[in-house]
């Protein structure tokens, strides 16, 4: 029944709005990957809020050949094909303080036919219907896959980090995926390292960030780590990402948008592969055999691909995808190693994702599965890239989500600043929250204000110590731009965001009391001084150093830039949404803001779920939140009457 349900692609377009509950449903497919021989598909699918399953399907028939079900409150997280017949799985669990499951550090392996289930790493035992996965009592720490080595049978490279309140050093091991036995290769030279190996599993690089936020890169030579770049001295970051027969490909960040290069570690020479006009590249795609770079993912106004191996037959597939995929992004997900079959994902601002099996010999695309069969792209609205100038002359980039069929004029509008805020940005892609609001007639404005990631180091650093100041000015400038362009009805604008976005919503309402009719803070920061005393960021030295960099430690400044200090200036109606078990932004933030608003004679709407964390996770709670949001917006800006 589950697989049959996955195959049902919604195709009926109705004039009625998409039901709100459809935007709260879990995706039918979380992750999917083709086996190296192309004979199987592995995919993770939700069973409930507390359980996720790994399914292994026969590629030709889509019939299941094996499965791995997690126990109660345990979920199948990430997974990797080790070879043609074995999959390694990372176990995840829903913890109260977070809105998404987190990896537990346990690793499990299973054969494609459902046999041979083995606990590879982790002290805790797990159960599987018909089998028992025994714990490995001597394993202590957090295990994760560094490289699945699909060309090397029964061996993967894993990292193990000790459980610690601080960022730990990682040990790197070669692991047998049948027995779980492992051999230590090295210890990371820097905390929180990212590692890069070649196709044979030889360790080459480790890179990480110091407590001061500066990058260091090390090279593994003759069994020892050698420092090859220190941002404190060089003024730039070098992140090796791929080793092929053509050499080492690295992303280099140096002020403006980062560039993708072929880099010679011995001489330091680089050959430019791609550099965006305004934005950093997103990721690398290889040819099916993994021996050459196929394309660089781009993230300018719209997501795209910059082709490198232009003569390769895969380049023709993703470069000229055909009439059926016009206006959509076609990306390779995984390949058969013989280069004959590719699993493609097709997506856009209206399409949350569909998967196709592409035969490179016959050039035929066979539809497999959708991510969300109930969300018809034909019923969704356009996400339009925008560019504007800030009041001090910075170029700002963002997106305007339009309701389905709208001409984009004189609309009620929700301003939606993103969370993070540093190192995070909004992209051109399908957004459930955006489409949910658009389905009810609202335009949605997203702006990548200074401090956002993805536009170069200088742009991100420009937001340091600018919370509530220049970062907020950028949001205001974007809002006024939307009014000047005729997109927004100036009398019907609200501001809504989560985490930092919730902070920006409240600061926007305080600094611009006549601009916004309502404001919603969802798990939002309200007291910057409290960030230093409560929550998981303040618990770690790295987290405290981050706060010092981006906020500064001056208590008078922190108070001046806190929404809780300006409740008396807010005219807009306010809704406060929070989870009672939020570890990142404890509920005390919402409680202080509620009390400050009440003291100022303004009763906020209060919506708290005691067992949720930093964002709602349970489907019925997400659905209830959607209903409450729409009712709140409809009340304040939904009608001209």
Average pLDDT over residues 287-306: 93
Q: What percentage of the chain carries pLDDT values higher than 70?
A: 92
Q: What percentage of the chain carries pLDDT values higher than 90?
A: 74
pLDDT exceeds 70 at position 72: no
pLDDT of residue 641: 45
Average pLDDT over residues 384-408: 97
pLDDT exceeds 80 at position 105: yes
Residue 162 CA, distance from chain mean position: 25
DSSP string, 6-60: HT-------SSPPPGGGGTSPPS-SEEEE-TTSSEEEEEEEEETTEEEEEEEETT
| Position 124 confidence tier, pLDDT thresholds 50, 70, 90 | low
Output DSSP code: residue 614.
B
Tens of pLDDT along 505-555? 999 999 999 999 999 999 999 999 999 999 889 888 889 999 999 999 899
Average pLDDT over residues 355-363: 91
| Position 46 confidence tier, pLDDT thresholds 50, 70, 90 | confident
Maximum Cα interatomic distance, the chain, rounded to a whole number of Å: 75
pLDDT exceeds 90 at position 500: yes
Which carries the bigger pLDDT value, residue 93 or residue 621? Answer: 621
Structure tokens belonging to residue 295: 């394309």
Spatial contact of 504 and 497, defined as CB atoms under 8 Å apart: yes
| 395-401 β-sheet, strand order | 383-389, 395-401, 443-448, 411-415, 488-498, 518-522, 573-579, 605-609
pLDDT of residue 76: 84
Average pLDDT over residues 165-193: 89
The answer to whether the bond into 198 is cis (omega within 30° of 0) is no
Tens of pLDDT along 575-612? 999 999 999 999 999 999 999 999 999 999 999 999 99
Residues with Cβ within 8 Å of 224's Cβ and at least 6 positions away in sequence, in order, are none
| Position 123 confidence tier, pLDDT thresholds 50, 70, 90 | low
Determine the length of the chain: 641
pLDDT exceeds 60 at position 336: yes
Q: Flag whether the pTM goes above 0.95.
A: no
Closest CA to 240 of 267, 214, 262, 210: 262
Tens of pLDDT along 237-261? 999 999 998 999 999 999 999 999 9
Average pLDDT over residues 415-437: 96
Tens of pLDDT along 207-241? 999 988 999 999 999 999 999 999 999 999 999 99
Tens of pLDDT along 443-485? 999 999 999 999 999 999 999 999 999 999 999 999 999 999 9
pLDDT of residue 5: 39
Structure tokens belonging to residue 287: 């040819």
Which carries the bigger pLDDT value, residue 33 or residue 538? Answer: 33
- Count CB atoms within 10 A of the CB of residue 138: 6
Spatial contact of 535 and 586, defined as CB atoms under 8 Å apart: yes
Strands 237-244 and 224-230: unpaired
pLDDT exceeds 60 at position 638: yes
The label of the residue with tokens 């500064």 reads 552
Residues with Cβ within 8 Å of 607's Cβ and at least 6 positions away in sequence, in order, are 575, 576, 577, 578, 625, 628
| Exposure class string for 300-332: b at 16+ Cβ within 10 A, else e | bbbbbbbbbbeebebbebbeebeeebeebbbbb
């Amino acid at each position: 029944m589950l697989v049959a349900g996955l195959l049902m692609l919604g195709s009926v377009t109705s004039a009625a709005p998409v039901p709100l509950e459809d935007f709260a449903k879990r995706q039918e497919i979380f992750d999917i990957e083709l086996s190296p021989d192309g004979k199987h598909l592995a995919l993770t699918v939700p069973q409930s809020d507390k359980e996720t399953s790994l399914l292994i399907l026969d590629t030709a028939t889509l019939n299941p050949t094996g499965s791995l079900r997690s126990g109660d409150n345990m979920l199948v997280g990430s997974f990797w094909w080790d070879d043609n017949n074995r999959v390694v799985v990372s176990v995840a669990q829903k913890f109260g303080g977070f809105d998404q499951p987190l990896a537990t550090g346990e690793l499990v392996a299973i054969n494609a036919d459902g046999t041979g289930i083995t606990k590879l790493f982790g002290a805790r035992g797990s159960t599987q219907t018909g089998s028992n996965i025994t714990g490995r009592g001597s394993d202590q720490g957090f295990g994760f896959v560094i490289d699945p080595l699909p060309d090397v049978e029964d061996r993967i490279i894993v990292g193990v980090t000790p459980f610690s309140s601080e960022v730990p050093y990682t040990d790197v091991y070669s692991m047998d995926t049948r027995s779980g036995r492992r051999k230590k290769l090295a210890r990371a030279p820097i905390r929180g390292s990212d590692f890069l190996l070649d196709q044979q599993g030889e360790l080459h690089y480790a890179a990480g960030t110091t407590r001061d936020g500066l990058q260091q890169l090390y090279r593994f030579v003759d069994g020892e780590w050698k420092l090859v770049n220190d941002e404190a001295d060089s003024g730039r970051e070098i992140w090796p990402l791929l080793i092929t027969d053509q050499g080492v490909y690295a992303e280099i960040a140096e002020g403006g948008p980062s560039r993708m290069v072929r880099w010679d570690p011995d001489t330091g020479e680089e050959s430019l592969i791609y550099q965006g006009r305004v934005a950093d590249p997103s990721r690398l795609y290889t040819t099916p055999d993994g021996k050459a770079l196929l394309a660089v993912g781009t993230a300018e106004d719209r997501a795209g691909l910059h082709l490198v191996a232009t003569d390769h037959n895969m380049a023709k597939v993703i470069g000229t995808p055909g009439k059926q995929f016009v206006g959509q992004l076609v990306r390779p997900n995984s390949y058969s190693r013989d280069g004959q079959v590719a699993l493609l994902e097709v997506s856009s601002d209206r399409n949350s994702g569909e998967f196709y099996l592409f035969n490179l010999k016959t050039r035929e695309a066979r539809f497999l599965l959708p991510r969300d069969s109930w969300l018809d792209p034909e019923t969704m609205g356009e996400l339009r890239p925008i560019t504007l100038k800030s009041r001090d002359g910075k170029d700002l980039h963002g997106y305007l989500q339009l309701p389905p069929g709208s001409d984009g004029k004189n609309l009620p509008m929700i301003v939606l600043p993103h969370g993070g805020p540093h190192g995070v940005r909004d992209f051109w892609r399908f957004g459930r929250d955006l489409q949910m609001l658009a389905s009810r007639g609202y335009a949605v404005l997203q702006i990548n204000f200074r401090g956002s990631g993805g536009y170069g180091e200088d742009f991100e650093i420009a937001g340091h110590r600018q919370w509530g100041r220049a970062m907020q000015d950028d949001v205001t400038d974007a809002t006024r731009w939307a009014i000047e362009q005729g997109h927004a009805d100036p009398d019907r604008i609200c501001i809504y965001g989560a985490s930092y976005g919730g902070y920006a919503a409240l600061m926007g309402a305080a600094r611009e009391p006549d601009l916004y009719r309502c404001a919603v803070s969802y798990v939002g920061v309200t007291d910057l001084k409290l960030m230093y005393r409560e929550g998981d960021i303040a618990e770690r030295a790295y987290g405290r150093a981050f706060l010092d960099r981006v906020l500064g430690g001056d208590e008078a400044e922190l108070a001046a830039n806190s929404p809780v200090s300006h409740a008396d200036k807010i005219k807009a109606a306010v809704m406060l949404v929070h989870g009672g078990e939020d570890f990142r932004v404890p509920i005390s933030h919402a409680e202080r803001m509620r009390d400050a608003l009440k003291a100022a004679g303004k009763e906020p709407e209060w919506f708290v779920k005691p067992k949720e964390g930093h964002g709602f996770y349970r489907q019925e709670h997400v659905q209830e939140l959607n209903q409450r949001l729409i009712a709140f917006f409809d009340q304040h800006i939904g009608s001209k009457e």
